[in-house]
Chain A
Amino acid sequence: MQIYDNAIPRLNGRYFAHATSVGIQYKSSDEVINLLAGGSRRTIVLSPGGRAMLISWSLVVPSKNAEDLRLIRMWREAEEVLVGVDFMGSKLGISTRGFLQDPQLTGQVGQTFTFAISAVCEPKDFG
Chain B
Amino acid sequence: MPEATAVHDLPPLTWLGVKLYASEIETSWSQRLAPRVFPYVDGEAHERTGRAALEVSATLHFLNTIEPGMYPRKFNEFLPLLLNGEGGTLGHPNIGKFNARNADGSYTITASTTAGVKLRVRWVESIKSADEPSKIVPSTSDVASTARRLDDAMEQLGRSYPDGMADSGATFESLVNDIALLGFTFSLQLSGAINQLRGNVNAIYNAEQLLCRAAQNLDDAARDAIAGDPLRWVIETSCDSMLAQLDEMEKSTVSGSRAVKTTTAGNDTSLAALSISLDADIADLINLNPSLCGKILIERGTLVKYFEAA
> Chain A: residues with CB nearer than 8 A to chain B?
29, 31, 33-40, 42-43, 45-50
Chain B: residues with Cβ within 8 Å of the partner, total of 27
Q: Are A46 and B61 in contact (CB-based, < 8 A)?
A: no
Given A35-B61, A39-B19, A45-B66, A50 and B112 touching (CB < 8 A)?
yes
Which residues of chain B have C-beta atoms less than 8 A from A33's C-beta? 23, 61, 63
Q: Are A38 and B10 in contact (CB-based, < 8 A)?
A: yes
Q: What's the nearest-Cβ distance from chain A to residue B229, in Å?
A: 72
Q: Which of B13, B61, B66, B114 contacts A38 (CB 8 A)?
A: B13
Q: Are B113 and A49 in contact (CB-based, < 8 A)?
A: yes
Which residues of chain B have C-beta atoms less than 8 A from A40's C-beta? 21, 66-67
Cα distance A6–B8 in the bound complex, in angstroms: 51
Given A36-B25, A43-B8, A50 and B111 touching (CB < 8 A)?
yes
* A interface footprint on B109-130 (CB within 8 Å = 1, 0 otherwise): 0011111101000000000000
Q: What's the nearest-Cβ distance from chain A to residue B59, in Å?
A: 9
Q: Are B61 and A47 in contact (CB-based, < 8 A)?
A: yes
Q: Are B115 and A48 in contact (CB-based, < 8 A)?
A: yes
Which residue from chain A places its CB closest to the CB of B113 in the assembled complex? A47
Cα distance A39–B56 in the bound complex, in angstroms: 16
Q: Are A48 and B93 in contact (CB-based, < 8 A)?
A: no
Of the A-B pairs whose beta carbons lie under 8 Å apart in the complex, a sample of 16, sorted by A's number, is A33-B23, A34-B23, A35-B21, A37-B7, A38-B8, A38-B9, A38-B11, A39-B22, A40-B66, A43-B8, A45-B65, A46-B65, A47-B115, A47-B116, A47-B118, A49-B114
